[in-house]
Amino acid sequence: MIFSPTVARLVGGCFFLTAVPLCIAIARLAINLNELAARSQVAVKRAESVGAVSRELRTAGLSVERSVRQAVVLDDASLLEDYARARQALERAMKRADELPTQSSERTALGELRTFDGTLAAQLVGGLPPADARPAVVEAATRISELADKVEEEFDSFVSREIHELEESALKGRNDWPVLVGIAALLAAVLGLGFSVWVSRPLSSLDRSIRRMGEARFDAPVTIKGPRDLRTLGERLEWLRQRLHSLESHQANFLRQVSHELKTPLTAIREGTELLNDRVTGELTEGQEEVVRIIRDNSHQLQRLINDLLTYQQHRSEVPLRLETVYVPDLVQKVVDSHRVPILAKAISTKVHIVPVSVSLDREKIRVVLDNLLSNAIKYSPVGGQILIAVRIAHDLLQMDVSDQGPGISHADRLKIFESFYQGPAPAQASVKGTGLGLAIAHDFVLAHGGQIDVMDAGKPGARLRVRLPAMDMKTEGAQESPLAHGGAQQ
């Protein structure tokens, strides 16, 4: 469902919109380059035309001046034919210059050149003028040559200005391109981040909801906002949550009722067994004593199983924490004292090292955690083995370790042992199998405190379970760790 066509189109649209700013920037750069290339081509052609016209004007102007001077100096009117040809070349060059996209300075110089050309032509209409008028003719021809040079200079300036404008345009474009690309990249990053948040937020909500249901936490409803397909998936998860919550409630009621119904006949069995064991009804034969012992042991085991089920049901009912300030050494001492009989029965020595500290926690739940960890350690410890209980403060956490010298916990079982009703390999000396609830209850009680329980040194001989709890309202009453005394079985 998550990879439906609608979501796929949504993701594709997000990627497309994210790429749009970069595509626009690239297109803009391409357009600028094309415009610059087109302007360069036009400028090159215009420079060629202007250069050719300016050269023609200069050549024609020089030819006019030279032919007029020769005619005046040699007093030969026939040389005016060269002037006429030079003047035609000058007029053609001026006509071509008029077709160029010149500016006011070039047009002014061309106007002056055309004026002196007309003046000179008028002076030479009837041939060479009288001797007293010839200096004016030479001066006009010289002025034409000078103006032709001036027009060439103006055209050269015109070409230089166009080249300078192209250089400025190229420089401006080169300076603008990084800014444009940076803006486009920033916009793409912002859009990408926005789209990723928009798409990932419902997926994160789905992930959190699935994790909560996987942890049997059905209190919070599943509400998903986002694309239609994800909302539909959220509605189905909400239906599943309600269904699982209902099944959980039925299971809790079933366990509570069954446990209650079993306690009444079990109490009668235990009382009857105790009466027989106390010889109230008379002396028993050796065979009868063995039968009574078997019934008595199994009734005790059944009582323990029922208590575990009741504790498990209490946990599943999500009873809130009852926080109080607890002096941890006293709590640990009471737990160790409660296991005096099985410890002595297996000749187990215990070492308890603890920092004298008070912490805010749920006394009963943590007592159950320690009780289950110690019971598990006693169960798997060999006869004459040793159990170590160490409590200290580490990184602002209350850290409790319970270690034994049993076979240890394999890598495959390090996570499974905290699952409800899971039972690892039973120890060889165990006569009665457990329920598989002790460590599961301990795990959930630790999580309820916001802590963590882990298997340390998995795969090695000797199990070591570590509990880390937030040290809330911690008060340390001693700087050194001190061992607790507990009879001869403890060191």
Mean pLDDT of the chain: 76
**pLDDT tens per residue, range 448-486:** 888 999 988 777 888 899 999 988 777 776 544 444 444
pLDDT at 432 over 70: no
pLDDT of residue 3: 44
Q: pLDDT tier at 2 (50, 70, 90 boundaries)?
A: very low
For 190-212, what is each residue's pLDDT tens digit? 766 776 766 677 777 777 778 77
Residue 75 burial (10 A CB sphere; 0-12, 13-18, 19+)? exposed
First to last CA, the chain: 61
pLDDT digits (tens, 9 = 90+) for 17-71: 666 766 776 777 777 777 767 766 766 666 667 777 777 777 877 887 788 788 7
The answer to which of 9-18, 64-73, 203-212, 343-352 has the lowest mean pLDDT is 9-18
Lowest mean pLDDT among 88-97, 112-121, 230-239, 312-321: 312-321
Residue with the bigger pLDDT between 257 and 239: it is 239
Q: Which residue has the higher pLDDT, 252 or 233?
A: 233
Q: Are 467 and 399 in contact (CB under 8 A)?
A: yes
Element of type H or E holding 359: strand 357-362
Please tell me the pTM assigned to this model. 0.48
Q: Which residues contact 221 (CB under 8 A, 6 or more apart)?
A: 238, 241
**Bridge partners of 483?**
353
Q: What contacts 382, CB < 8 A, 6 or more positions away? A: 346, 405, 406, 429
Q: Which residue has the higher pLDDT, 411 or 218?
A: 411
Per-range mean pLDDT, top range of 213-217, 276-280, 443-447: 443-447
Instruction: Give pLDDT tens digits for 111-158.
Output: 777 787 777 777 877 777 787 877 887 787 787 777 777 777 777 776
- Under the banding of pLDDT at 50, 70 and 90, the label for residue 336 is very high
